[in-house]
Structures are given as C-alpha cells and as structure tokens.
Amino acid sequence: MTTSASGTDTLPAPLAESATAPAETELRTGSVGISVPRREDRRLLQGQGEFADDVWMHRQGYAQFVRSPHGHARIVSLDPRPALALEGVYAVLTGEEAKEMCQVPFFQIAPEPASRIEEYPLAVDKVRYHGDAVAVVLAETREIARDAADLVDVQYEPLPAVLDTVGAADPDAPLLHEQVGTNVAWHGNYDWGDIDWALENADHVVELDRLHFHRFSSTPLECNAAVVHWDQGTDTIRVSSNNQMPMFASMVVGPTIGVASNRLMFSSQDIGGAFGIKIGSYPQIAALALLSRKAGRPAKWTEYRTEHMLSAGHGNERVFLDTKVAVMKDGTILGFKTRAFDDAGAYLHYEPLGAVIWSQVCCGCYRLKHIQVDYTETMTNKCPTVPNRGYSRLQHLWLIERIVDVVAHELGFDPVELRKRNYVGPDDYPYETPNGCVYDSGDLPRSLDMALELLDAEGWRARQRELEHGSGKRIGIGIGSTLDSGTNNFGQARIINPDLPFSGNGEAAYVKLDLYGEVTVNLGTTPQGQSHETTAAQVVADVLGMPPDQVHVTAGFNQQQNTYVAFSGTYASQFAVTGLGAAKGAAEKLRAEIVEIGAFALGAQPGEIEVRDGACIVAGDEERMIPFIGIANMIYANNAVLPGELRDRISLNCRHVYVPPFEVPDPESKTGNLTLTYASQIHACVVELDEHTGEVAILDYVAVDDCGTRINPKIVEGQVHGATMLGIGAALYEAFEYDDEGQLQQASFYDYHAITALDAPHVKTGEIESPSPFTPNGAKGMGEGGGAPLHAICSAIQDALGPKDAIVSDSHNPWERVWRLIHSGERGEPRGVRVSGGSAAAGDSGR
Amino acid sequence: MAEPDVVHSIEFTLNGERHEATVSSRQLLVFFIRDVLGLKGTHIGCDTGSCGACSVIVDGKLIKSCMMLAPQADGTEIETVEGIAQNGELSVVQRAFHEEHGLQCGYCTPGLVMAATFLLRRNPDPTEEEIRRAIRGNICRCTGYVNIINSIQRAAGADSREAA
C-alpha cells in the first residue's frame, strides 16, 4: 500500500540479535543509507520493554492527584483529613504545604511582567484550569489512592473563566495571575522588509479576516508516569520517568525544590511516544518528589488518560486577525502582515518560546520578502500548552499555506503554478530568509511534481470536472507545502527575553571499547520510537568498520551513567544531526585511539593501519593484525606493556559533544540563524465532500519527504507515515474544546477521536534526498512533519468549494463545519476574505 | 465513599501455566496482570476500553483487560504477549511486525500483536478491510497504521505459505 518513488535498499532482516553475520562486503562499505532492521523490536514485540510504569521501587506508594473540576476558581478551603482517615493512605501533600517546601517558584522564561507568575508544583489559593492539581495523595494501592483523592475536601468559589485568546488580552478581562497585571504572556512586533511599501505597491491586496488554528495534542499512547524517590540515605532524588527533556526538567525542578542538579537523577528506558507533550511533566515530577520526601517512600504515579487529556499539555491554539497579503499581477507574493494571538493556557510551561519558534519558518517555503507579525501570547483558563509535534511552526506554516491557497482561489491563479512561482528555487540554496535564517537545501518544485504525479492530479482534475452538478458530491484537490525545521539555536530564546543565558545547541555521546574489545555507545537522548539504538549503531559501525549488529547501544537514558549537555533529550527534529553527530564524533575519537594502540602493537605507523572487522590491520600485510580484544587488553588490564605517553593519554572511552555552528541572534531586529536544517514535505490529496452531511472522505493521499541523507530509509518512512496520520487526525477529527465555564469537552478517547485504522487513508510516499551541507552526515532532523496534512486537507476542501462560499478559515474541519462551508454561499454568510486592486489573472489562467 | 474490599480466590491458566491467587473485588485485570503477576507487556493506554494497549486473549477471545475485573478471570485461560513467542522464537506475527517496521515506540505493540494473532487464528487470509476492522480498537500514534497493516498482511501470507 506504500509506493516508494525511488528504490530503497532493504537488508534481509536477521531476526535473532545474536545472529552476527560475517561482515559482508556491502556492510564494510557502510550501513548508513540502508534499512538496517531495528534492534529495539525484539524486546518490544515480546513485552520486554521497560516503560515508566514498569518500574517499581521497594516500599513505593501509589500517587493520585486531586484536580480542579472548575476552569477558574478560588480555593476556599482544602481539608485532607477525610482522605488521611482512610486505611492505607500514607500521606497527602497540599498546595500550601508544597509551596512551603519549595525554595522558589518555577523559573519563568518570560520577561516582565509575566515573569512574576508564581507557579508551584501544586496550585495555591486559586485553580486556573479544569484539571489544575491542588493536592496529591500517596497510598498503599492504586485503588485506595483513587478513593482517597476523592475524599480530599476542597471547597471552591468559581470565578469567571477567560477562554478566548484575543479577549484575554483585553485590559478588562478577568486576570489569571493577578500579580502579573495582565493576561498577556508576551507581546512583540516582528517586522522584516517593508510590508507597508509592499501593500502600497502591490497590484492586489488580499485580506483575510480571521483564521483559527485549533487546539489538539498528539496524545502519546503511554500517558505520563514516574516513580520518584527522595532517598534520604544518599540525599539524592531518583526520577524514573518518561520525561523527554530531562535536563530542562532538572534545571526547572532543582532550584524550586532546593536540590542541586547532581542530586536529581533522571532515567528512562522505553518511552511510549511523546511528541513534545512529555516535556511538560516537570510540575508533576516536582510534586512527587516533595510527596516522597514527606511520606518517606517512593511515589509512583501512572497518569490516567482523562488526567492526561485534562492536564498533560495541549498544542498551541492560534488566531490570525486582519491578515493582508501583497500580490503582484504575475502571481509574485511580496509578503503579508497579520496579528497573531496565541493561547498558552493557564501557566507558561516552556512558553513563551513558541512566540519566537514559529519565526524559524517565517516565510514558509516561499521567497516572501516583507513580513510583519504583531504577536501576542495570552494566558487563558485552559490546560497549559507544551510543545506538540510541529511545535509553533505548524500553526504559522498553516497560515502561509492558507494565504497562498486563498490568493490562488481569489485571484484565479492555478494553485500549483502559484506555488512554483513563489517557492524557494533549487538554485537558491543556501537561502537566507528575511529574518536571517538559512535554508540549507531542497528541491520544492520537484517534490511538488513528484507528489502530483503520484497522486495522478491530472486524472483527478478530469474526474472533478466530470462530476455532475447535483450529484451531492464534490471533489477537491489540495496541496500542503511545509518545512520541518530542526536543530534549534536556543539563542532565539533571547528574542523573547534578552536576559536569558541560552544559546546554541548540542548533544553528547560516549563511545568506548569495553573490557573484551566490545563497542558500547551511550547517548544523551531519550528516544520514544525514533530508533536511536539502531541508527546510532549504524553510524558508529561505519566509522569503526564493522557491522552495526556488533555495536551495542545502551537502551534509554540514565543520568548516572550517560553523558549529557543541558540540551539533551529527544525533541524538535534534531537527533539525526545532533545525536548522530555526537555518536560519529565520539566514534572517530575512539577510532583514532584504537589506531594508535594498534600501530604500537604492530610496530607500524598509524597511517598504515586499517580498522575493519573488529581489528587493526597493517595495510597490504594482512598477517600483521591485532583484534579489538587485544587493544582493550593493553589499556584495561595490561598497561605496563605500553609506553607511559600512550597509557596516560588513551582511555578508549571517548566523549564527544556535537555543537552546531550558531551565533547569538539579535533580539533587537529579531533576526539570526535560528535553525540548522530544513527538511521539507510536500503533501497532495484528494477529498470528496458530501453536500448533505459535510462528510470529508480522503480519496487519495501522497506525502513526498526530503530530509537530506536518509540514515535508515525505512525508519524515515515510518516517521513520515506517523506524522501524516496524526496530521490527518487533527485536520478532521481531533480537537480540544472548552465550554463557557472552562470545562474540557474531550477528556477521554470516547470524545477525543484519535484517528483509527478505519479512518486512516492509504498513503503513498515519495522521497527526494537533498543532503544538508551543514551537518556531519548530510542528514536533516525530521519526524515532526510540519503539519502538512492540515495544510493539504484545508487546501483540498477549499478547492471543492464554490467562489461564493466562505474560505476555509479553521484548521479543524469536522462534518458540521464543512457542511456550513458548503452552504455558506447560498446562505449569504460572510466569506471572510476581500480583494482590492481587481481580479488578477482574471480567471483565465485558473483551474 | 469507599466500600470495604472483598477478596476472592481465583484459579486460572496464564500462558499455559496454572495459577492460584487471591484478588481484590475491584482490581482490574490489567492491574492484576501488571502489578501482581508482574508481567509488564500488557500496557495501560486509556482505562476506558478505547485504545487496546491492554488487549489479551481470554478463553480464546480478544478482550481489553482494563474492561474486566480480576475476579472474573476465575476459571479462565489467559494469554498475554509474553506467551506468544515460543522458546525465544518470535511468532509469525511478531516476525512480520519486525520485518515491516510495524512498530516504533512499541507501546501499542503488545496489544496489536494480540489483536493480529486473534484475527489470524479466526481468519488466516483476511482482506485489508478485515484487518482494518480487526484493529480498529487499537490506537497507534506512531506508525499511522500503514506498516501495521502491511505487517499483518505479511503474517497472513507467511501463514499460508507455512501451511502449504
């Protein structure tokens, strides 16, 4: 069911991990680029993985949070005694107690005045969203903990809820955080080029009144979970969790609970999906640490699905008002201006970083020169947002694709030709955007051609024309062009707050030769299905001239044994660059050490030594060789045979930190190189709309991916499939909505319709490889996917609508919304778009 | 208010072995399997019977173990993912998932292995539509189902080849 536009070499899959085939010639020349079978599979297929809830500790209790049923309310009283009276309850930690145990509130990324937010591990005085935690119970069993949480007596006085991100900025709106004095978390004006000039000199100006990007989440199938043990004996805190960015969590939690970072020990092995959402579990981890300290027992927490939906974190919702687009007669789009309002929810968890991260892709796939975005992020009585697959860029990329699509439809341009006219061209790379980002490589027009060919767009156009008026059906063809920017420059945080001491990026890896010459790799990353064990083995194996199945990559992350930097973790499409860059660098250091020892042992010069098949061999004299076990022996157990100079310097334990070549961006002009790589995805699809019901059926779907050099094509393709289906789910089915009191309407998988195998369409994939000139191996980060299905499906629905119908202005298009769109023309509803300067190509170059 | 817990003695077969246990009247089967029996392959994804991560086979039927109480397991034969591979040898279904890259994070995988095993026992040669229906109660957030469906098709093909 999957079509690959170009051939992919797939190795036959050896199933037993121990089956180490003799090194074949093709393995010697390298495994990168080959779909080496995944080494993670064997344990996961047999239920032998170790996920966060699989960890038990001696004397542990089960934790259950007590959560607010209100969107916004004052806590009048909180009485834990009825819960404590229940047999089997070990302890209850309240918000007040937690605050007293803390040194400081959680660190805020935001500048003044939002930096005055006082957030502690549990809510104090007030609850600010449906699901806000006010206390946490520890008990002997899960069931008792759940009962006890119900018994905690909390009296609330409801307050008016703030639910609209635009209205939240109103000075008269009720305040979430009184000490801040406003609900605005961050405001700034991004202004590159000269949009006023462009709008004055454009042949046409297209105005879009209001576009809304909806709230949803990738809802990893494994909820958050942790066992936290404040070990009084060693005064260390063991955090066995599925947090995906543990160093960030450590840096936020440590100062708050008054613990040095070298006493806060994070670990994880297998993580059941994360998608960014599991960056946001640090407040719960802090609460569990305090609970463990209070109870003198490890606190084990398994988040319930409803709890996850309510409080684990949602993706950002964003509204774009009064968008004005400057277009020339020939279809050149000069640029646009808009007012963006982003809804961060009740607390700032990782926000307001989203208020700058979108600008990594300020012009999308296009050569737009003049861009002005007046950006406001507000706090509302909703679940806090956290990074969610495509974080902050997909909202903006969706805006740009809506702009391009609406311009095509309103001015009568062919949507394909209009895109090609404005795309960054294959010869434009490295392409500098108006805000100083550098697009590394790509071929967007060829990707689009490939997508349209795989789709048979011409055939579908013919069927669209043949479809009889009055059939009750309409066909639409849509395109989604998107970028997956990867390897952040954390210096962009200074555009949000110039005082933040962050810049650059990096990842660490260790590669060592073990006691008997085995090769071991450990990484600073926290994989959640991205196959790091497999791909790191490929990269290291190639450097050391051995088959990848002879390289052992330790599973998961453990702060006490793995190496790391503050950026360590797995997020934001970067492993192929940072993680594999670190593994490659460490392997190269190890190789150099092996060669030195080998040369000494064989009485040769280092330049004469070849490293292959687990040995050092003198080139041209195969008899003179020493296997890795001999090399390891000399360092670990036999070092008196070595000259002092060698044994003092060489350890066969090599650490490397990959650091991308970034500079600090300029907060004043809001410019700089914010991201190292730009993978692209071009999606194309065909939808059929039912005029009577509004049902959207996907008749055909294509995704063409270009992420530079593919380390393991099958793994890349799997990520493309996954990102595609989550995007389709978000476009048609998945949404988090609140009622007027701030009650979440979709708090389980009954109401939140996660896409299923029955909903999922066939997906054809194609690939182009435009290696990145900026990365160690030509690869680009990928996996987030840039939300292309949201763009493509909105585009296809737009294409099926008539010229008098309203434009597609929402990223979520369930049946009822589509029905309204289909009938908006005949009902005389506002279209949400205006064109000044006359109709351009006047329809004759149209579809 | 919490009611006093009632304890039941149960007997059951787990992956071919007889077991006896005393269980709390309100304990869900999934927690009994995980917390008491210590088998961690059966996962918890939703606690509403929606996601299928906790799927096991009880008396030959595919069930969601978060929708059954542990006392109801009395007298039953339970199969979990730990019983699928024989002597370290992966089953046809497990091999097919590996070969087709039908798993990423692996959290939904045990449930899908059980669902696919159940399907192929009843219907060794399913159509794609039948496969989609058979796994509609198993949510996967990583693979987009594409390679899962490919895996089950491959397993079905391998089954008929092996039978031939």
Of A13, A222, A756, the CB nearest to B99: A13
Of A219, A530, A748, the CB nearest to B141: A219
Q: How big is the A-B interface in CB pairs under 8 Å?
A: 199
Give A84→chain B minimum CA distance, Å.
13
Does residue B137 belong to any structural domain of this protein? yes
- 10-residue block means of pLDDT along chain A (847 residues)? 39 35 47 96 98 97 98 98 98 98 98 98 98 98 96 98 98 98 98 98 98 98 98 95 97 97 96 97 98 98 98 98 98 98 97 98 98 98 98 98 98 97 98 98 98 98 90 96 97 97 97 98 96 98 96 96 94 95 98 98 97 96 97 97 96 98 97 98 98 98 98 97 98 98 97 97 96 97 94 98 96 98 96 81 38
Nearest CA in chain B to A48: B41
Residues B40, B106, single domain; the answer is no
Give B140→chain A minimum CA distance, Å.
7
Of B46, B141, B147, the CB nearest to A305: B46
Of B98, B132, B144, the CB nearest to A41: B98
Contact A452, A7 (CB under 8 A): no
Contact A741, A382 (CB under 8 A): no
Report pLDDT digits (tens) over A127-166.
Answer: 999 999 999 999 999 999 999 999 999 999 999 999 999 9
Does residue B2 belong to any structural domain of this protein? no
* CB of B64 less than 8 A from some CB of A: no
In DSSP terms, which residues pair with A684 in a beta bridge?
A: A479, A702
Establish how many alpha carbons lie within 13 A of residue A604's alpha carbon, considering only the half-sphere containing its beta carbon.
23
CATH number assigned to the domain comprising residue B25: 3.10.20.30
The answer for B 14-53 residues in CB contact with A (under 8 A) is 24, 26-27, 31, 34-35, 39-48, 50-51, 53
Secondary structure class of A779 (helix, strand, coil): strand
What the block records as the tokens of A237 is: 């805190």
Report pLDDT digits (tens) over A620-660.
Answer: 999 999 999 999 999 999 999 999 999 999 999 999 999 99
CATH number assigned to the domain comprising residue B134: 1.10.150.120
Q: Which of B142, B150, B151 to mutate to test the interface with A (most CBs of A within 10 A)?
A: B142
Q: Rounded CA gap, A95 and A500, in Å? A: 29
Show residues of chain A in contact with B2, CB under 8 Å: 86, 144, 147, 151
What the block records as the tokens of B111 is: 């449930």
Interchain contact, A15 vs B95, CB within 8 Å = yes
Give A578→chain B minimum CA distance, Å.
20
This model of the complex carries an ipTM of 0.96
Nearest CA in chain A to B39: A47
Of A142, A302, A758, the CB nearest to B132: A758
Rg of chain B, C-alpha, whole Å: 16
Residues B79, B96, single domain; the answer is no
Show residues of chain B in contact with A219, CB under 8 Å: 141
**Per-residue H/E/C for A528-553:** CCCCHHHHHHHHHHHHHCCCHHHEEE
Secondary structure class of A516 (helix, strand, coil): coil
Give B65→chain A minimum CA distance, Å.
15
Of A141, A270, A722, the CB nearest to B143: A722
Report pLDDT digits (tens) over B80-139.
Answer: 999 999 998 999 999 999 999 999 999 999 999 999 999 999 999 999 999 999 999 999
Residues B123, B145, single domain; the answer is yes
User: Which of B83, B105, B134 is the C-terminal boundary of a domain?
Assistant: B83
Neighbour-count burial for A807-822, b at 16+ CB within 10 Å, e otherwise: bbbbbbbbeebbbebb
Residues B157, B134, single domain; the answer is yes
Residues B67, B101, single domain; the answer is no
In DSSP terms, which residues pair with A708 in a beta bridge?
A: A779
Alpha-carbon torsion (A273, A687, A801, A358), positive or negative: positive
Interchain contact, A721 vs B143, CB within 8 Å = yes
User: Which of B83, B109, B131 is the C-terminal boundary of a domain?
Assistant: B83
Show residues of chain A in contact with B131, CB under 8 Å: 757
Residues B11, B78, single domain; the answer is yes
Interchain contact, A221 vs B108, CB within 8 Å = yes
* CB of B115 less than 8 A from some CB of A: no
Show residues of chain A in contact with B87, CB under 8 Å: none
Nearest CA in chain B to A3: B146
Q: Rounded CA gap, A283 and A645, in Å? A: 50
Show residues of chain B in contact with A220, CB under 8 Å: 105, 107, 141
* CB of B65 less than 8 A from some CB of A: no
Show residues of chain B in contact with A48, CB under 8 Å: 41
What the block records as the tokens of B34 is: 């995980």
Interchain contact, B39 vs A531, CB within 8 Å = no
Interchain contact, B105 vs A528, CB within 8 Å = yes
Of B45, B106, B137, the CB nearest to A529: B106
Q: Rounded CA gap, A222 and A203, in Å? A: 52
The angle at the Cα of A47, spanning A46 to A50, to the nearest 5 degrees, equals 130
Name, in order, each residue with C-beta under 8 angstroms of A680's C-beta and a sequence gap of 6 or more.
Answer: A365, A442, A444, A447, A481, A482, A483, A484, A705, A706, A786
Residue A143's nearest CA partner among B32, B72, B114 is B32
Residues B79, B98, single domain; the answer is no
Show residues of chain A in contact with B148, CB under 8 Å: 757
Does residue B1 belong to any structural domain of this protein? no
Residues B13, B75, single domain; the answer is yes
Show residues of chain A in contact with B90, CB under 8 Å: 15, 42, 45-46
- Residue B65 is part of which domain span? 7-83
Give B15→chain A minimum CA distance, Å.
13
Give A525→chain B minimum CA distance, Å.
14
The answer for B 74-93 residues in CB contact with A (under 8 A) is 80-82, 84-85, 90
Q: Rounded CA gap, A195 and A205, in Å? A: 11
Contact A250, A191 (CB under 8 A): no
Show residues of chain B in contact with A268, CB under 8 Å: none
Does residue B79 belong to any structural domain of this protein? yes
Interchain contact, A718 vs B136, CB within 8 Å = no
Interchain contact, A530 vs B104, CB within 8 Å = yes
Nearest CA in chain A to B28: A143
Report pLDDT digits (tens) over A580-593.
Answer: 999 999 999 999 99
**Per-residue H/E/C for chain B:** CCCCCCEEEEEEEECCEEEEEEEECCCEHHHHHHHHCCCCCCCCCCCCCCCCCCEEEECCEEEECCCCEHHHHCCCEEECHHHCCECCECCHHHHHHHHCCCCCCCCCHHHHHHHHHHHHHHCCCCCHHHHHHHCCCCCCCCCCCHHHHHHHHHHHHHHHHHHC
Of B24, B101, B148, the CB nearest to A38: B101
Does residue B48 belong to any structural domain of this protein? yes
Q: Rounded CA gap, A656 and A564, in Å? A: 10
Pick the CATH number of A25-49+506-658 from 3.20.20.70, 3.90.550.10, 3.30.470.10, 3.30.365.10: 3.30.365.10
Contact A683, A792 (CB under 8 A): yes
DSSP class per residue in A197-212: HHHHH-SEEEEEEEEE
Does residue B66 belong to any structural domain of this protein? yes
Number of domains chain B contains: 2
Interchain contact, B107 vs A221, CB within 8 Å = yes
Of B27, B97, B146, the CB nearest to A45: B97
Give B60→chain A minimum CA distance, Å.
19
Q: Angle, to 10 degrees, between the axis of helix A457-466 and the axis of helix A444-455?
A: 50
* CB of B157 less than 8 A from some CB of A: no
Q: Which of A34, A41, A734 to mutate to test the interface with B (most CBs of B within 10 A)?
A: A41
Give B59→chain A minimum CA distance, Å.
20
Residues making up chain B, counted from first to last? 164
Q: What are phi and psi of A112, to 5 degrees?
A: -55, 145
Name, in order, each residue with C-beta under 8 angstroms of A391's C-beta and a sequence gap of 6 or more.
Answer: A276, A315, A316, A354, A357, A572, A784
Interchain contact, B98 vs A15, CB within 8 Å = yes
Give B11→chain A minimum CA distance, Å.
22
Give A351→chain B minimum CA distance, Å.
25
Q: Rounded CA gap, A717 and A231, in Å? A: 44
Contact A341, A335 (CB under 8 A): no
Chain center to CA of A640: 51
Residues B63, B117, single domain; the answer is no
User: Which of B83, B103, B128 is the C-terminal boundary of a domain?
Assistant: B83
Q: Rounded CA gap, A612 and A622, in Å? A: 11
Give B93→chain A minimum CA distance, Å.
9
